[in-house]
Amino acid sequence: MADANKRLGILTGGGDCPGLNAVIRAVAHRCAQKGIELLGYRYGWAGVVAGDSVVLDRAAVKGILPLGGTILGTSRTDPLVVPDGIAQIRRTLEADGIDGLISIGGDGTLSASQELFERGVPLIGVPKTIDNDLCGTDFTFGFDTAVAIASEAIDRLHTTAEAHNRVLIVEVMGRHTGWIAAYSGLAGGADVILVPEYPFEVEAVCERVRERERRGRTFSIVVIAEGARPSGADNEIVERRSRVRPGEISAWLAREMERCIDTETRTVVLGHIQRGGTPSAHDRVLATRFGVHAADLAIAGGWGQMVALHGNEIGTVLLADAVRKLKRLDPAIWDIAKVFTYSAATWRRPPAATAGGSPPPARPATPARRAAPRQRQPAVPADIQLA
Ligand code: F6P
């Protein structure tokens, strides 16, 4: 039931994500349609703590649908660790006459939102993250755009990898889950996909490259999520993985691969390109649907819930059920990926020699080339090599 005296607030927290502006616009239009005022808090929870807001009427959201980023700005400010943060939030909401907040964020922002809700702050959650790793919703907006960007990059890298007979390792985002890696790897026809959910064997990745070479495929594309890790607890890179650093795992893998194959191996770290720029049509529509539903939920006073995509329907879940756990890559998607790529799940280390039996054949230094010599580029003296 609409309440013309209601005043709502909205904020965007955590990493930015294509589609945030589409949500803001949708909420603003729905509120305007229902005669409800909307304030936008700037830079996530930092703006609520500081009482830094702007009025979001129809004019304020004009033209923002196709824009990446967020007109409100964002931050990773955790109000629970800001001194006096919760009391300050209460003061802001009271001073601004806010009946409830719409909090757009990923796991960090929404976990803080749930904590605040438990302490009496009325709010609604809207799930966003390019990583698609939030529980309670089948998909988050931003993911489709990130996958499209990564897939296009993989397409482009295919042609240059093939032209130079190289292995190209493409590192995509995904600290804890491999949704972007799996989807973009499938869409881009990657030869190897490596995700955090399934630790990998370097030797198996190399063998996949060699096996392709034996079939005359003298280049390979490896897609790796930034949070992927090799198997083996005693591995130094595994020990350092508790804090994911962009570019670290792809550089490590390239060095390791060059020890076991003689194909030149290069890395490309896509990084924030996956998060920037205009949202896809799919993400604009999903974000708009989330926005209108979030506004309706807030107007109805359905606090403590998060809007969610279930199949093709927009529904709701309790915020408490959506946060503080990860939605890992769907095993059914991984099964599809395994049809086309190396996967740690299907690769088996060659059997060790058994007592009295014959030892396994020694691996030649460059088995791929020996098995099926391919057309090599003629050697060029270093002093006349082209740039
Ligand atoms: O959670 C979204 C995300 O883009 C991750 O995929 C990535 O690891 C992280 O944010 C990067 O965060 P920041 O922009 O703060 O470096």
CATH number for the domain spanning 32: value is: 3.40.50.450
Domain boundary among 302, 322, 342: 322
Asked if residue 259 and residue 197 are part of one domain, the reply reads: yes
User: For the chain, which ranges sit under pLDDT 50?
Assistant: 1-2, 241, 345, 353-374, 376, 378, 380, 382
Q: DSSP letter string over 221-284?
A: EEEEETT--BS-TT-HHHHGGGS--TTHHHHHHHHHHHHH--S-EEEEE-GGGGTSSPPPHHHH
Q: Do the domain assignments include residue 369?
A: no
Q: Do the domain assignments include residue 88?
A: yes
Task: State the pLDDT at residue 341.
Answer: 85
Answer yes or no: 131 catalytic: yes
Task: State the pLDDT at residue 342.
Answer: 66
Q: Which of 16, 75, 275 should be mutated for ligand 1, with most atoms under 8 A from CB? A: 275
Ligand 1 atom nearest to CA at 274: 4
CATH number for the domain spanning 249: value is: 3.40.50.460
**Residue 15 CA to ligand 1 centre (angstroms):** 6
- Tokens coding 134: 């939030």
Q: What is the pTM of this model?
A: 0.89
User: In which order are the strands placed within the sheet that holds 53-55?
Assistant: 53-55, 37-41, 7-12, 100-105, 123-127, 305-310, 313-318
Task: State the pLDDT at residue 243.
Answer: 72
Q: Do the domain assignments include residue 239?
A: yes
Number of domains in the chain: 2
Asked if residue 106 and residue 28 are part of one domain, the reply reads: yes
Helix intervals (H) in the chain: 20-34, 45-50, 85-96, 107-118, 143-164, 179-188, 202-214, 236-239, 248-260, 281-299, 319-322, 331-340, 367-371
Task: State the pLDDT at residue 242.
Answer: 58
Asked if residue 238 and residue 301 are part of one domain, the reply reads: no
Q: Which domain holds residue 189?
A: 145-275
Q: Do the domain assignments include residue 352?
A: no
Asked if residue 137 and residue 12 are part of one domain, the reply reads: yes
User: Tens digit of pLDDT for each residue in 70-86?
Assistant: 999 999 999 999 999 99
Q: Do the domain assignments include residue 383?
A: no
Q: Do the domain assignments include residue 47?
A: yes
Average predicted confidence (pLDDT) for the chain:
89
Ligand 1 atom nearest to CA at 226: 8
Asked if residue 181 and residue 233 are part of one domain, the reply reads: yes
Task: State the pLDDT at residue 175.
Answer: 94
Annotated catalytic residue, options 16, 99, 107, 131: 131
